[in-house]
Amino acid sequence: MESEVVVSAKKLSQLVHEIISCGGSHSSEAQIVSNHLVGANLAGHDSHGVGIIPTYLNNLKKELLIPNTPVTIINDDGAFLQFDGGKGYGQRVAHEAMKKGITRCKEIGLVVMTLKNAHHIGRVGTYGEMAVDENLVSLHFVNVTDHYALVAPHRGSDARFGTNPVCFALPTGKKSEPIILDMATSKVAAGKLRVSNNAGNKLPDGLVIDSEGQPSNDPGIMFSEPKGALLPFGEHKGYGLALIAELMSGVLSGGGTIQPDNIRLDGIINTMTVILIDPARLGSLDWIKNEIDAMVNYATGSPPSDPKLPVLLPGEPERKSRTEREENGIPLDSESWSQILESAESLGVDRSFFAECG
Ligand code: NAD
């Protein structure tokens, strides 16, 4: 980063708690949102960290995000649990829905859970981590609605999808080192373009196309008109998975897809379908974990083709980042930082909060 501030996780959490509270949230909601956003920065996903606050505050002003909204259960039918997020903070309503889904899964072994109408739920891996903490396996399919499309289908020249993340989480023999594959189906998450644009960085080849459908390296094409589009990862395979995520979440939840007959108010609404499995119902948990560990050791034991770049487990980059940033602080580019401070000031957050952080 060209120019940055480095803030400790503790100070940043206090600032975010204050901003979200000034936005109208009760302290417990502000705490969940703050933990999630700072947790995303700690995990190295600045795209889903505190830099997104100005967007949230903008959506609050437009009433596309409604503070102090708990999740509502709309269908409770054994293995099927369906929730409505009521445009509340996604971090809160998804957290509440996951807690209920996990409790049910521990009772009956398998749950299909859907959540619709949640404001942006953030880093999906957070919810996979909740499942593996309880020795469950989880599969998450997410779409993005209420927003213009960002990702082009393979062979297309304009955007027709959100960045539609999927997440697959499995426990291992080491509780602190689960497998968390949590990824956008676009080559990069959209927020990473915001971070690059704010930092004035060019993009590597192959991530985006411009409004004419031609390759580009400019993150600005996503922030000016006419807009370009992100590309899916893995060509036809990523496109296929983006479509599946769109349908698994948007259709099964009842929240709808990004197809243009559905209303778009320029907010960020996520729907999520989660399949929770208690592996202990399928065999001995000890054997399952031993076998997972043996396979993980086999895969990650492959000699690296570049000795400086060892084979990693999905979820490991986030753990390494967490360890490093908890110790050394969270770097934020100066443009993102000033945008956060401007938004905070607009809500009347006391300047003393910034002074201690900056
Ligand atoms: P990414 O490309 O940085 O990582 C994707 C996955 O690959 C992670 O599980 C990571 O642990 C793993 N990984 C990375 N490097 C690896 C390596 N060398 N070996 C093995 N595994 C490796 O993530 P992304 O696709 O840019 O997504 C970033 C975040 O954005 C995710 O947390 C996602 O949930 C979130 N997101 C949310 C939304 C939303 O609408 N809420 C939309 C898109 C993305």
Q: Give yes or no for residue 314 CB within 6 A of ligand 1.
A: yes
Q: How far is the CA of 160 from the centre of ligand 1 (A)?
A: 21
Q: Determine the pLDDT at residue 116.
A: 98
Q: What pLDDT sits at residue 353? A: 72
What integer is the mean pLDDT of 307-334?
A: 97
The type of residue at 268 is: I
Ligand 1, atom 5, residue with closest C-alpha: 183
Ligand 1 site, residue 270, Cβ cutoff 6 A: yes
How many angstroms separate the alpha carbon of residue 75 from the centre of ligand 1? Answer: 31
* pLDDT above 90 for 1: no
pLDDT score, position 335: 87
pLDDT at 237: 98
Q: What is the pLDDT of residue 214?
A: 96
Q: Work out the average pLDDT over 166-191.
A: 95
**pLDDT of the residue at 2:** 54
Whether the per-residue pLDDT at 28 is higher than 80: the answer is yes
Q: What's the pLDDT tens digit per position in 263-316?
A: 999 999 999 999 999 999 999 999 999 999 999 999 999 999 999 999 999 999
- C-beta 129 within 6 A of ligand 1: no
Ligand 1 centroid to 331 CA: how many Å?
A: 19
- Average pLDDT of the residues in 90-119: 98
From the list 118, 187, 123, the residue with the least C-alpha distance to 146 is 118
Is residue 115 within 6 Å of ligand 1 at its C-beta?
no
Residue 85 tokens read as 């997020």
Instruction: Give the chain's mean pLDDT.
Output: 95
**Measured in angstroms, how far is the CA atom of residue 184 from the centroid of ligand 1?**
6
Q: Distance from CA of residue 262 to its chain's centroid?
A: 23
Answer whether 229's CB lies under 8 Å from 150's CB. Answer: yes
Give the nearest ligand 1 atom to 186 CA: 25
Q: How many helices (H) and strands (E) does the chain have?
A: 11, 12
**Ligand 1: centre distance to CA 183 (Å):** 3
CB-ligand 1 contact for 121 (6 Å cutoff)? yes
Q: Whose CA is nearest to atom 4 of ligand 1?
A: 183
> In this predicted model, what pLDDT tens digit does every residue of 223-274 receive, in sequence order?
999 999 999 999 999 999 999 999 999 999 999 999 999 999 999 999 999 9
| Domains and their CATH numbers in the chain | 1-61+329-358 (1.10.1530.10), 69-186+232-286 (3.30.1370.60)
Spatial CB neighbours of 50, under 8 Å, sequence gap ≥ 6: 12, 15, 16, 37, 38, 41, 332, 336, 340
Core vs surface per residue 3-40: b (16+ CB within 10 A) or e: eebebbbebbbbbbbbbbbbbebeeebbbbbbbbbbbb
Kindly report the protein residue whose alpha carbon is nearest to atom 19 of ligand 1.
312
Q: Is the peptide bond before 226 cis (omega within 30 degrees of 0)?
A: yes
pLDDT at residue 198, rounded to an integer: 85
Cα–Cα distance measured from residue 358 to residue 344, given in angstroms and rounded to the nearest whole number? 14
Taking the C-alpha atoms of residue 84 and residue 4, their distance in angstroms, rounded to an integer, is 39
Q: What percent of the chain has pLDDT over 90?
A: 89
Distance CA 273, CA 115 (A): 6
> Residue 143: its pLDDT value, please?
98
Is the model more confident about 335 or about 167?
167
Query: What's the rounded Cα separation, in Å, for the pair 143 and 161?
Result: 8
| Amino acid 357: pLDDT | 66
* Ligand 1 center–CA 338 separation, angstroms: 26
pLDDT band at 350 (very low <50, low <70, confident <90, very high): confident
pLDDT of residue 189: 83
* 45 Cα to the center of ligand 1, angstroms: 8
Q: Nearest-CA neighbor of 322 among 45, 14, 31?
A: 45
- Lowest mean per-residue pLDDT among 202-216, 239-253, 302-316, 330-344: 330-344
Confidence (pLDDT) at 180: 98
Which pTM value belongs to this model? 0.96
